[in-house]
Chains A and B, each alone.
Chain A
Amino acid sequence: MLKIEHLTKKYGDKTAVDDLSLHIKKGMIYGFIGHNGAGKTTTIKSCCGILQFEGGNIYIDGISIKEDPLACKRKLAYIPDNSYLYEFLPGIKYLNFVADIFNVPKTEREERIKKYADLFELTEDLAQPISSYSRGMKQKLVIISALIHDPKLVIMDEPFVGLDPKATHYLKNIMREICNNGGAIFFSTHVLEVAEKLCDEVAIIKNGKLVISGSMEEVKGNHSLEGIFLELEGE
């Protein structure tokens, strides 16, 4: 579903991501772990077509994001690590805007908005301008907008930040549901316990370079993910 081949991205002289290769298959929740500034967000933004990169290639469902970015973007959804949204729009207008952009038919968009807004208990607030939302509410809105076009691949950067325990639980269920339906999830997190319980495969990145990747069992063996991570980080 998502294939990263020898990805290299530089900011001036600094190499943020160095020859990174990962393969996220259909039906898989893939965790992406690393210290602050390791290159996680750069990798994720490159996968979503937000950042242009110098070396390597990224394929979404077999399509190169360099060659046909629009076709790739139609298949994926991106949840960023911040909740910067159009504050001047009411929540419902933002969701409808996203639905228009992804050409979601009327009945489907109405059904999905109802389903997810009810689930995340945001329905009553959809008429309010986004500027009045709390951080958690904005995060929920971003998640709903990401799910509105039924994406095959969801790429998430720290998706649980700002969410209450209930919403976190529902999001985990949704992630599993997407994978069960043949989709895939690629997400970064600092919460290693969540990654350990949720992910089928995991990759650890340090200073832009892949340190280790594989199934959760292969990576952690008999240790905890936290123990492995700290060991690899040289603590």
Chain B
Amino acid sequence: MLKALIRTRLNALYSSFFYNSRFKKDRNKAFKIVVALFALYVIVSFLFMFGGFFYNICRPMADSGFAWLYFSIAAIMAVALCFVGSVFLTKAQLYDAQDNDLLMSMPIPPGYILLSRIIVLLVLNYIFEMSVLVPAGIVYCANYTPTATGIIVFIVELLILPLIPLTLSCIFGWLLAVISEKVRNKSFITTVMSLVFLGLYLYFFSRINYFLQALIQNIHSIGSKIQSLAFPVYHFGLAISGKNMLSLILFLSGAIIPFAIVYALLAHNFIKIATTKKGLTRKKYKEQPLKVGSVKLALLKKELRRFASSPMYILNASLGAVFTLAFAVAMIIYRGIPDFIVEDFPQIVEYANPLIITMLCFLTSTNFISAPSISLEGKNLWILQSFPVDGGDVLLAKAKMHMVVCLPPVFLASLSCIFTIKLSFAQILLTLLLPALVTVFCALFGVVINLHFPKFDWVNETVVVKQSMSSGIAMLASMAVIAVPAILYVSLFTQKISTDLYMFICAIILIALCLWMYRYLKTKGSAIFAFLGQ
């Protein structure tokens, strides 16, 4: 029975990658190969990234008698990666599972249901853990000759270590589930938290060399802190480096006992967790005057609400808007960005300003909010199709939503460029015009492409936003709109036309394309919309 449950969980995980819900069949071989290659790329990237990190710290640490700290740091990184990688899945699997009612109506002991979910999470944690600990082990073996005992201890610890992040994920997953049920502006808070996390991640990696230096310079104080504050990982390191059996027992106890306690608590309360109806305290409606608006405004407001309701949609489709804002702030704080470019690449002095404008165009082109917007109607498509609204207006509302989200950061960034860089009058016009035009182009193009590649039979909106044909084409085409003219200019026109004139020509072409797409959506697009979903 437990085997069948685990198989079902693994099948669900497999289906989420390889099952085509539209045609109710497995994805084709080519798709599987692409996914496998991508997975391989991610794994190899991780191995090299962590391998490089451990290569830099291995000898300085081990040679100064801190080999245990080397392994302890590897363990901390593995625990952190496992925790970050699995905490949301733990929440979804343990506390928000949709199939609990069905499973509990069957003659299955609740403990089995819980155990099957935990085992799948453990498998996932092993994958994350190995991408850190395997390079750490290889780097150590390449520098020093390992003993058989050391290797056995390492393997035992490798197998047990994921219990620590799993214990933490179970606790934090529960906290997240409780908080997210109680908080009202859930999507806003999730979006802000995710952006803060992303910011910290980028900050950490931009300063990785500084942190490495600090780590090696302060090896003694860091070592004593780990020794006193994180005893399981301290003994993790000590057990491998010193072949210390007492440390091994202490580490195993530190990992297994808390996990056993958390598991026992979960198993004891599983039925309660699975059946308790969570929810916000009911907000009672108080009558208030209703705002009257036009049809077009109503459609736009509806689209904006749809967008704001999904942190996944915001974070994936409009990250470019966040980077554009960051760009605007960076231009104001570091007024010397163009000088910096000029100093490092003196041969492109005359192109510094056009490059800044191109960079801004590129940032805004990474937004693809409108590309999955028709597909996201899903089973609600009947609403707009049965209403007395022109299909063209429905489609344009989706493009407008993209513009409303992306244009303000673009204008802020354009203004920050204008006030911080020395630009000619033509360049000021281009700074205001070109990034805005690229934004409008991406907005309209996303809708046009989604009109031809819609997908309404999705179960999880992530499939539409992140993995649909429409989003993929929109992303590639938007980047091509920047890359192709830039390559053409560099290879063909540098000696013939000034960059300013060339960019004006690009702007005119973009205006023509936007006008064509606008007309297309109002006429043919409207007719296609009437046939969607049939």
- A residues within 8 Å of B by Cβ? 45, 48-52, 69-74, 78, 80, 82, 84-86, 88-89, 91-93, 96-103, 105-106, 109-110, 113-114, 123-128, 132
Q: How far is the CB of B253 from chain A (nearest CB, A)?
A: 45
Contact of B290 with A50 in the complex, beta carbons under 8 Å? no
Nearest opposing residue in chain B for A95, CB measure:
B290
Q: How far is the CB of A21 from chain B (nearest CB, A)?
A: 22
Listed from nearest, the 3 A-B pairs whose CB atoms lie closest are A100-B298, A88-B309, A73-B388
Q: Tell me whether B36 is interfacial, beta carbon within 8 Å.
A: no
Q: How far is the CB of A199 from chain B (nearest CB, A)?
A: 23
Contact of B295 with A132 in the complex, beta carbons under 8 Å? no
* Contacts A82-B379, A93-B305, A100-B295 supplied; 11 other A-B pairs, CB < 8 Å: A72-B388, A80-B386, A84-B379, A84-B383, A86-B380, A88-B305, A97-B301, A97-B302, A106-B290, A114-B287, A123-B285
Contact of B530 with A52 in the complex, beta carbons under 8 Å? yes
Measured between alpha carbons, how far is A132 from B186 in the docked complex, in Å? 14
Stretch at the interface among B226-234, B275-283, B420-428, B490-498: B275-283
Measured between alpha carbons, how far is A97 from B298 in the docked complex, in Å? 6
Measured between alpha carbons, how far is A162 from B279 in the docked complex, in Å? 22
Question: Which residues of chain B are near A99, meaning CB under 8 Å?
Answer: 290, 292
Q: A123-B285, A124-B285 are in contact. Are A100 and B305 (CB under 8 A)?
A: no
Measured between alpha carbons, how far is A127 from B281 in the docked complex, in Å? 12
Mark contacts of B287-298 with chain A using CB atoms, 8 A cut-off: 1 yes-contact digit, 0 otherwise: 101111111011
Most buried by B among A49, A50, A51, A132: A50
Nearest opposing residue in chain B for A126, CB measure:
B285
Decide if the interface of chain A is mainly helix, strand, loop or mixed: helix
A-B contact pairs, 28 of them (CB 8 A): A45-B382, A48-B386, A50-B385, A51-B534, A73-B387, A74-B388, A78-B386, A80-B382, A82-B379, A84-B379, A84-B383, A96-B290, A97-B302, A100-B298, A101-B295, A101-B388, A101-B389, A102-B387, A102-B388, A106-B289, A106-B290, A109-B292, A110-B289, A123-B285, A123-B287, A124-B285, A127-B286, A128-B285
- Of the candidates A48, A69, A80, A96, the one whose C-beta lies within 8 Å of that of B291 is A96
Range class of the B interface residue count:
35 or more
Question: Which residues of chain B are near A73, meaning CB under 8 Å?
Answer: 386-388
Question: Which residues of chain B are near A86, meaning CB under 8 Å?
Answer: 302, 305-306, 380, 383
Question: Which residues of chain B are near A114, meaning CB under 8 Å?
Answer: 287
Q: How far is the CB of A154 from chain B (nearest CB, A)?
A: 12
Q: Tell me whether B500 is interfacial, beta carbon within 8 Å.
A: no
Most buried by A among B285, B298, B299, B385: B285
Nearest opposing residue in chain A for B297, CB measure:
A100
Q: Which of B365-423 contact A (CB under 8 A)?
A: 378-380, 382-383, 385-390
Question: Which residues of chain B are near A100, meaning CB under 8 Å?
Answer: 292-295, 297-298
Q: A84-B380, A100-B297, A103-B295 are in contact. Are A70 and B285 (CB under 8 A)?
A: no
Q: Tell me whether B205 is interfacial, beta carbon within 8 Å.
A: no
Q: Tell me whether B210 is interfacial, beta carbon within 8 Å.
A: no
Question: Which residues of chain B are near A78, meaning CB under 8 Å?
Answer: 382, 386
Q: Tell me whether B25 is interfacial, beta carbon within 8 Å.
A: no
- B residues within 8 Å of A by Cβ? 279-280, 282-287, 289-295, 297-299, 301-302, 305-306, 309-310, 378-380, 382-383, 385-390, 530-531, 534
Contact of B305 with A70 in the complex, beta carbons under 8 Å? no
Question: Which residues of chain B are near A49, meaning CB under 8 Å?
Answer: 385-386, 530
Question: Which residues of chain A are near B531, meaning CB under 8 Å?
Answer: 52
Measured between alpha carbons, how far is A189 from B476 in the docked complex, in Å? 49
Measured between alpha carbons, how far is A95 from B148 in the docked complex, in Å? 72
Contact of B289 with A127 in the complex, beta carbons under 8 Å? no
Q: How far is the CB of B388 from chain A (nearest CB, A)?
A: 4
Contact of B380 with A50 in the complex, beta carbons under 8 Å? no
Question: Which residues of chain B are near A48, meaning CB under 8 Å?
Answer: 386
Question: Which residues of chain B are near A84, meaning CB under 8 Å?
Answer: 378-380, 382-383
Question: Which residues of chain B are near A74, meaning CB under 8 Å?
Answer: 388
Question: Which residues of chain B are near A127, meaning CB under 8 Å?
Answer: 283-286
Question: Which residues of chain B are near A92, meaning CB under 8 Å?
Answer: 285, 290
Question: Which residues of chain A are near B379, meaning CB under 8 Å?
Answer: 82, 84
Question: Which residues of chain B are near A50, meaning CB under 8 Å?
Answer: 382, 385-386
Contact of A70 with B306 in the complex, beta carbons under 8 Å? no
Contact of B290 with A109 in the complex, beta carbons under 8 Å? yes
Question: Which residues of chain A are near B290, meaning CB under 8 Å?
Answer: 92, 96, 99, 106, 109-110, 113
- Of the candidates B292, B299, B306, B382, the one whose C-beta lies within 8 Å of that of A106 is B292
Question: Which residues of chain A are near B387, meaning CB under 8 Å?
Answer: 73, 98, 101-102
Contact of B298 with A101 in the complex, beta carbons under 8 Å? yes
Q: A52-B530, A70-B390, A84-B382 are in contact. Are A105 and B283 (CB under 8 A)?
A: no
Measured between alpha carbons, how far is A103 from B296 in the docked complex, in Å? 11
Nearest opposing residue in chain B for A98, CB measure:
B387
Contact of A105 with B292 in the complex, beta carbons under 8 Å? yes
Measured between alpha carbons, how far is A74 from B301 in the docked complex, in Å? 21
Most buried by A among B295, B382, B388: B388
Question: Which residues of chain A are near B292, meaning CB under 8 Å?
Answer: 99-100, 105-106, 109
Q: How far is the CB of B408 from chain A (nearest CB, A)?
A: 22
Measured between alpha carbons, how far is A49 from B287 in the docked complex, in Å? 34
Q: How far is the CB of A152 from chain B (nearest CB, A)?
A: 13
Q: How far is the CB of B67 from chain A (nearest CB, A)?
A: 54
Question: Which residues of chain B are near A132, meaning CB under 8 Å?
Answer: 279-280
Nearest opposing residue in chain B for A93, CB measure:
B305
Nearest opposing residue in chain A for B283, CB measure:
A127
Nearest opposing residue in chain A for B385, CB measure:
A50
Q: How far is the CB of A127 from chain B (nearest CB, A)?
A: 4
Q: How far is the CB of B534 from chain A (nearest CB, A)?
A: 6
Nearest opposing residue in chain B for A76, CB measure:
B386
Question: Which residues of chain B are near A106, meaning CB under 8 Å?
Answer: 289-290, 292
Nearest opposing residue in chain B for A91, CB measure:
B285
Q: How far is the CB of B495 from chain A (nearest CB, A)?
A: 54
Measured between alpha carbons, how far is A78 from B299 in the docked complex, in Å? 19
Most buried by B among A45, A49, A97, A100: A100
Q: How far is the CB of B527 from chain A (nearest CB, A)?
A: 10
Q: How far is the CB of B281 from chain A (nearest CB, A)?
A: 11
Nearest opposing residue in chain B for A9, CB measure:
B534
Measured between alpha carbons, how far is A48 from B388 in the docked complex, in Å? 10
Nearest opposing residue in chain B for A122, CB measure:
B285
Question: Which residues of chain A are near B284, meaning CB under 8 Å?
Answer: 124, 127
Measured between alpha carbons, how far is A120 from B283 in the docked complex, in Å? 18
Q: How far is the CB of A46 from chain B (nearest CB, A)?
A: 10
- Of the candidates B279, B285, B380, B389, the one whose C-beta lies within 8 Å of that of A85 is B380
Question: Which residues of chain B are near A89, meaning CB under 8 Å?
Answer: 302, 305
Q: How far is the CB of B92 from chain A (nearest CB, A)?
A: 16
Nearest opposing residue in chain B for A48, CB measure:
B386
